Structure 1
Amino acid sequence: MKFWKSVLAGAAIALLSSTASFAAKTDLVLGIVLEPPHLDPTAGAAAAIDEVVYANIFEGLTRIGAKGDVLPALAESWTISGDGKIYTFKLHKDVKFHDGTAFDAEDVKFSLDRAHADKSTNAQKGLFAAIDTVEVVDPLTVKVTLKQPNGDFLYNMGWGDAVIVAPESAGTNKEKPIGTGPFKFDSWAKGSQIVISKNPEYWGTPAALEKATFRVIPDPAAATAALMAGDVQAFPVFPSYETIAQFQADPRFKVVIGTTEGETVLGMNNKKPPFDNLKVRQAIAHAIDRKALIDGAMFGLGTPIGSFFPPHHPAYLDLTSETAYDPELSKKLLAEAGHADGFKTTLKLPPPTYARRGGEIIAAELREIGIEAEIIPLEWAQWLEQVFKGKDYDMTIVSHTEPNDLNIFARDDYYFNYDNPAFRDLIKQIEATSDAEKRTELYQQAQKVLATDVPAAFLFQLPKTGVWDAKIEGLWENGPIQANDLTAVKWAE
Structure 2
Amino acid sequence: MRRASRLLFSASLALVASAGFAFAKDSITIGMVLEPPGLDPTAGAASAIAEVTQYNIFEGLTKINEDFSITPLLADKWEFSPDAKTLTFILKPNVKFHDGEPFSSKDVKFSFERFGAKDSTNKDKAFFASIESIETPDPQTVVLKFKDPSYWALFHLGLSTAVILDEKSAANEATAPVGTGPYKLAAWTKGASITLDKWDDYRDPGKIAIPHATFRFISDPSAASAGMMAGDVDAFPRFANLDALGQFKSDPRFQVLIGGTDCKTVVGINNKRKPLDDVRVRRAIAYAIDRSAVIGGAMNGLGTPIGSHYTPLEPGYIDLTSMYPHDPEKAKALLKEAGVTTPLQLSLILPPVPNYARQGGQIVAAQLAEVGIQANIQNVEWAEWIRGVYINKNYDLSIVCHAEPLDLGIYANPNYYFQYDSQAYRDIYAKVTTAPNAETYNAAVGEAQKKIAEDSVNAFLFQLPNATVADAKLKGLWTNAPIFVNDLSAISWQ
Where on the TM-score scale, by shorter chain, does this alignment land: which range? Answer: over 0.9
CA separation of 1:124 and 1:413: change in aligned 2, threshold 3 A = farther
For the structure 1 residues 402 and 6, does the alpha-carbon distance in structure 2 shift closer, same or farther, using more than 3 Å as the test?
Answer: closer
My pick for the range that moved more, 337-346 or 171-180, is 337-346
Q: How much does 1:279 deviate?
A: 1.1
The residue that corresponds to 2:459 in the other structure is 457
2:314–2:406 Cα contact (<8 Å) kept: no
Matched, 1:317 2:318: yes
Which residue of the partner structure matches residue 156 of structure 2? Answer: 156
Q: Describe the superposition over 1:42-73 as per-residue Cα deviations: whole angstroms up to 9, x where unpaired.
A: 01111111111111111111111121111111
Question: Take 2:307 and 2:188, find their aligned partners in 1: how far apart are those partners?
Answer: 40
Could you say which residue in structure 1 is the equivalent of 2:193? 193
- AA partner of residue 253 (structure 1): F
Q: What residue identity is the alignment partner of 1:55? A: Y
* Equivalent residue, structure 1, for 2:177: 177
Q: Secondary structure at the match of 1:122?
A: coil
Query: Which residue is 1:477 aligned to?
Result: 479
Equivalent residues of 2:349, 2:397 under 8 A apart = yes
> What's the CA shift for 1:329?
1.3
Deviation for aligned residue 1:124 = 2.1
The 2-side partners of 1:127 and 1:381 are apart by 27
Please name the residue that 1:245 is paired with: 246
Q: Which residue matches 1:375?
A: 377
* Residue in structure 2 matched with residue 226 of structure 1 by the alignment: 227
Amino acid at match of 1:293: V
Count of aligned positions = 489
Between stretches 316-325 and 158-167, larger displacement belongs to 316-325
Residues 342-393 of structure 1, C-alpha deviations (whole Å, 9 max, x = no match): 3212111112221111011111111222222221222223323332233232
CA distance in 1, matches of 2:139, 2:316: 40
Q: 1:217-366 alignment to 2 at 5 Å?
A: 217-352=218-353, 353-366=355-368
The equivalent of 1:33 in structure 2 is: 33
Q: Secondary structure at the match of 1:41?
A: coil
CA distance in 2, matches of 1:12, 1:30: 32
Per the alignment, residue 106 of structure 1 pairs with 106
Query: What letter is aligned with 1:455?
Result: V
- Report if the CA contact (8 A) 1:37-1:49 is conserved: yes
Distance in 2 of aligned mates of 1:241 and 1:317: 27
Give secondary structure in 2 for the equivalent of 1:242: helix
Conserved? CA contact 2:91–2:141, under 8 Å: yes
Alignment correspondent of 1:429: 431
Give, in whole Å, the separation in 1 of the partners of 2:45 and 2:72.
24
Separation in 2 of the partners of 1:57 and 1:390?
Answer: 33
Tell me by how many angstroms 1:313 deviates: 3.7
Give the match for residue 212 of structure 1: 213
The letter of the residue matching 1:290 is R
Deviations 1:133-159 (A, max 9, x none): 112211111111111111111111001
Give deviations 1:176-235, integer Å, cap 9, x for gaps: 111110111111111111111101111235411101101000111111100000000100
The 2-side partners of 1:475 and 1:366 are apart by 39
- Residues 1:253 and 1:86: Cα distance change in structure 2 (over 3 Å): same
Residue segments in structure 1 that go unaligned for 5+ positions in a row: none
User: Cα distance, 1:4 vs. partner?
Assistant: 7.9
Contact 1:433 1:439 in 2 (8 A): yes
The reply to whether residue 403 of structure 1 matches residue 405 of structure 2 is yes
Q: CA deviation at 1:453?
A: 0.4
Residue of structure 1 equivalent to 2:42:
42
Distance in structure 2 (CA, Å) of the matches to 1:175 and 1:6: 44
Partner Cα distance (1:350, 1:207) in 2: 36
| TM-aligned CA deviation for residue 171 of structure 1 | 0.9
Matching residue of 2:57: 57
Distance in 2 (CA, whole Å) between partners of 1:388 and 1:419 is 16
Cα gap change, 1:434 to 1:108, in 2 (>3 Å):
same
Residue 413 of structure 1 is matched in structure 2 by: 415
Does the CA-based 8 Å contact 1:288-1:366 persist in structure 2? yes
CA distance in 2, matches of 1:481, 1:445: 24
Inter-partner Cα distance in structure 2 for 1:23 and 1:104:
40
Task: Give the AA of the match of 2:311.
Answer: P
Query: 1:60, 1:164 within 8 Å by CA — same for their partners in 2?
Result: yes
Shift of 1:298: 0.3
Residue 22 to residue 210, structure 1, CA distance change in 2 (3 Å): farther
CA RMSD of aligned residues (A): 2.1
Please identify, of 360-369 and 375-384, the stretch whose mean Cα deviation from structure 2 is larger: 375-384
State the identity %: 49
Structure 1 range deviating more: 318-327 or 216-225: 318-327
The alpha-carbon distance between structure 1 residues 448 and 10, as it changes in their structure 2 partners (threshold 3 A), is same
2: CA distance between counterparts of 1:44 and 1:28? 26
In 1, the alpha carbon distance for the partners of 2:243 and 2:128 equals 41
What SS does the aligned partner of 1:224 have? helix
Tell me by how many angstroms 1:13 deviates.
6.4
Shift of 1:87: 1.3
